Structure 1
Amino acid sequence: MASEIIGVVGAGIMGRGIAQLFTQAGHTVRLHDSRDGAAGAAREFVLSMLDKLATKGAMSADDVRAAAGRLTAVAALEDLAGCTIVVEAIVEDLEAKRALFAALEGIVAEDCLLASNTSSLTVSAIAAGCRHPARVAGLHFFNPVPLMKLAEVIPGLLTAPAVTDRLLSLVTGTGHRAVRAADQPGFLVNHAGRALYTEGLRLLEEGVAPVADIDRALRDTLGFRMGPFELMDLTGLDVSGKVMQSIYEQFQQEPRYRPSTLIPPRLAAGLYGRKTGRGFYPYPEGVKQEPAEPPPPPAMPGTAWVQDGEGVDALRALLAAGGATLADDPAGADVLFTLPWGEDVTAVAVRTGLDARRLVGIDPLGGLAGRLVLMASPATDPALADKVHGWLAAAGRAVTRIQDSPGFIGQRVLAMIVNTGCEIAQRGIAVPPDIDAAVRLGLGYPSGPLEWGDRVGPAKVLAILERLLSVTGDPRYRPSPWLRRRALLGLSLRGE
């Protein structure tokens, strides 16, 4: 596309990143900040980042010199008069953004686009303070802007379609993925990210497992780089807690986004995470201190029977490798195994008549390829759970032991992530390809929610949610119509 003259207002972390991105893409950028000297310092920072890219061979010296000529720090807002697009990256305050755009309308031409990097404010509310709301849209980048290859383009209710198209094209021209999101709470990425946090906290509330075990299970069974409690400590509970509460309230207290009762006491105690030296984990000298896993019990002789189901052959092979003798029927076994989807051990025992004192569950999610999650009911003999742990450890597997939970840990979190993605699609907030791309790029998940649901199987995800809803009675687990209809019809969640 043609080169633009882009004004960036706000020279903080986000403003600097946006200025660098557009400068590298060949646009002329004018950087302004109301603080004395801030814009000039930001320009020098951007140029230092470009020099580093040249040192690494990612840019030529000529390209750096050309970029430096395109990037200017300006002292007055009036110096943005010739801009074709102005992006604001100032404080996240509605009145401040409205005042800025009102001032800009008296400076820039009528065909200049006004874009807000807001992450939480309604774009339509920002535009409502403008004489020409049709030219106002959201343009939400992620930190660090040059490395996070994603931007959300959010049209307000009065935004002209041509404005949205132009911003989508602008972002695509930088090499970033542009996704269109409706003007709804959290837009796309912050909305989609609610499930991991809230379900991780729900598992902790229910006493299913301690913090470190939940994080380990999700890292090792679903492939997350960090579990929910590690992530909350990284972003700061003061930040993530505020976002959770805000989205819950903006969605009219929708149960799917309900915050946890565990958050307010931690906020009151100042346990924000890394920034305060202690959150869900302690951080002596800035380094996370994760409790060590206890050593596994020794493998003891005994007999095992595995209920038919997905993963039965793999589990039988592991048990045999760990020293267990395999039985052909439950009557002759010390330990009975089930591999349920969406059920807890209690429900399996009641449904099948299997002896609850001898019954344990193993999560089949992931095909039993890595860490194994071992679940026991309140009636399960603890000595038998120890025996199972010993067998699996002797077979070379790490084991996380949890209390009875319909859907274990991984199934519950996965089902909620998929369901949230489905609800975003159902509400028309974004189209399926953008939902998946935004979650991979913006949240760093190993897969997008809809493609993840297709891989596991929509019918399985639906079953997990329905069983969670039945056991808990909590409406947070009600399946999205997008998921239910496609699961029942055997269709892809991606609308293919």
Structure 2
Amino acid sequence: MAEVGVLGAGTMGTGIAQIAALGGYETRLYDPDPAAAEGAAIRLGEALAKGLQHARWTELEAEEALDRVATTNEFGELAECELLIEAAPERVELKRDLFARVAAICAPDAVLATNTSSLRVADIAAGIPHPERVLGMHFFNPPALMKLVEVVATDRSSEVALAATEEVALRMGRTPIRAKDSPGFVANRLARPFALESLRMLGDGLAEAERIDRIVRLGGGFRMGPFQLIDLIGLDVNLEIARSFFDQGGEPERWRPSPIQERLVAEGKLGRKSGEGYYRYGEGVERELDPELGILAPTLDPEKLERIDPVATAVLSRLFAQIANETAFALEEGIASPADMDTAMQLGLNWPSGPLSLAEKIGAGPAVELLERLESEQGGAYAQAPLLRFAAERGETLRDTQL
């Protein structure tokens, strides 16, 4: 491939165009709004200049990349592109319409890739000629900095198209992983327990949001606690994501949106952007810095965790058990390989360890024992994946177990 087209000149589209150009591709950045296309060209120049200041590339590389990008609001100028990456708002009809228009002017083997993070790729591909060339190419925000790309295969995506897309991702300096066309693909799917189980622990009265966050940072090794992250994303956005997963997944109890989140959103407490969520923000509000405890995280060592908080072992045991459980469900469904799951969480969401490694911290047997007790007390949100139970019975890890 020599020429890449990007449809949509917003933050994601502009970032994707930047790394495509830096990867050596002639790049067409399309937006129907001339002002948006013009603004993207300005932002792209500024981003390349900033990267030069931080020595991310040389002056020559920045100049050549800028020369490779042509912004346009003329759809016909995409006709020669061999890979077209759609980065439009998350509406199936809009994305499908863009692909239909592209299919009418491009070669029949031009690869059509959607950057969707929440929609089924097969739904976007419906009715598009040559559906074997339609796939997902999910970048993480901001694409110029985040190194992961999920290459998402529908039941009809061809190996030729998938392999070509992975090659493009590598030339862009990204790490591609293969993902099945299922809710949330890999990273967003495996991250479900991080928020939902933390919300259940908050609802159970096990600990307050600030204490759970502190435990997860100091004992779990995560850069941000779950409630800090939800406040940053926005409670309304996080709730909408939870509802989408619940609906697309057939309403599994473990994915049920939290009533705490529902209540706070109804009260207008949306996180940082509204001044209050799980924390309050504004002048005069200070946060304590985490102490240096010399703990190598993530850990479930009770003696070490006691130095953080009396309930730290209980909090991290529940969190790791649910991460292990979700990982087991995902392995059963074949959404990705074990290695790609670990890569996804570390590169895509900056986890300290991959989910299979976190599952090994608690072990399949203790995880099942804890989940069985919680299921008897609280119900189906803690129902165990058959693969996790099988691993527990055999004394194996999820990495080594097959049903």
Same fold (TM over 0.5): yes
Task: Indicate the residue corresponding to 2:301 in structure 1.
Answer: 366
| Within-5 A mapping of 1:3-402 | 3-285=1-283, 289-290=286-287, 365-369=300-304, 371-372=305-306, 397-400=307-310
Task: Indicate the residue corresponding to 2:350 in structure 1.
Answer: 444
Contact conserved, 1:19 with 1:29, CA < 8 A, in 2? yes
Q: In structure 2, what is the Cα distance between the partners aligned to 1:200 and 1:245?
A: 17
TM-superposed CA distance for 1:289, in Å, is 4.7
Runs (5+) with no aligned partner, structure 1: 294-363, 373-396
Q: In structure 2, what is the Cα distance between the partners aligned to 1:265 and 1:366?
A: 35
SS in 2 for 1:469: helix
Residue from 426, 430, 437 that aligns with 2:336: 430
Task: Indicate the residue corresponding to 1:413 in structure 2.
Answer: 319
Task: Indicate the residue corresponding to 2:293 in structure 1.
Answer: none
Runs (4+) off by over 6 Å: none
Q: In structure 2, what is the Cα distance between the partners aligned to 1:91 and 1:129?
A: 20
State the one-letter code of the partner of 2:129: R
SS in 2 for 1:181: strand
Contact conserved, 1:222 with 1:366, CA < 8 A, in 2? no
Q: In structure 1, what is the Cα distance between the partners aligned to 2:98 and 2:43?
A: 24
TM-superposed CA distance for 1:488, in Å, is 2.1
Instruction: Normalising by structure 2, report the TM-score.
Output: 0.92
Residue from 345, 363, 367 that aligns with 1:461: 367
Q: In structure 1, what is the Cα distance between the partners aligned to 2:308 and 2:112?
A: 53
TM-superposed CA distance for 1:291, in Å, is 8.2
Q: In structure 2, what is the Cα distance between the partners aligned to 1:269 and 1:87?
A: 38
Matched, 1:480 2:385: yes
Q: In structure 1, what is the Cα distance between the partners aligned to 2:38 and 2:26?
A: 16
Q: In structure 2, what is the Cα distance between the partners aligned to 1:463 and 1:290?
A: 37
State the one-letter code of the partner of 1:399: D
Task: Indicate the residue corresponding to 2:395 in structure 1.
Answer: 490
State the one-letter code of the partner of 2:309: V
Q: In structure 2, what is the Cα distance between the partners aligned to 1:176 and 1:36?
A: 30
Q: In structure 2, what is the Cα distance between the partners aligned to 1:179 and 1:34?
A: 31
Q: Which has the larger radius of gyration?
A: 1
Distance 1:84 1:292, change over 3 A: closer
State the one-letter code of the partner of 1:482: L
SS in 2 for 1:409: helix
State the one-letter code of the partner of 2:388: L
TM-superposed CA distance for 1:485, in Å, is 1.6
Contact conserved, 1:432 with 1:495, CA < 8 A, in 2? no
Aligned residue pairs total: 393
Q: In structure 1, what is the Cα distance between the partners aligned to 2:228 and 2:81?
A: 42
Q: In structure 2, what is the Cα distance between the partners aligned to 1:63 and 1:290?
A: 41
Q: Bigger CA drift: 143-152 or 484-493? A: 484-493
**Larger helix proportion of the pair:** 2
Contact conserved, 1:14 with 1:143, CA < 8 A, in 2? yes
Task: Indicate the residue corresponding to 1:331 in structure 2.
Answer: none
State the one-letter code of the partner of 1:409: V
Instruction: Normalising by structure 1, report the TM-score.
Output: 0.76
